[in-house]
Amino acid sequence: MKSEKMTEFLRVVKFTLVSISAAIIQLGSYALMEELLLWPYWPCYLISLVLSVVWNLTVNRKITFRSETNYTLALIKVLLFYAVFTPVTTILGNWLVESMGWNGYVVTILNMLFNFVTEFLYQRFFVFRNSLDSIPQTEEKE
What does 55-99 look like in DSSP terms, one character per residue?
HHHHHHHHTTS---S-HHHHHHHHHHHHHHHHHHHHHHHHIIIII
Looking at the whole model, is its pTM more than 0.85? no
Question: Using DSSP, how many helices (H) and how many strands (E) does the chain show?
Answer: 4, 0
For the chain, the structural domain boundaries read 4-127
Given this model, what pLDDT does residue 49 score?
87
pLDDT digits (tens, 9 = 90+) for 79-104: 999 999 989 998 999 999 999 999 99
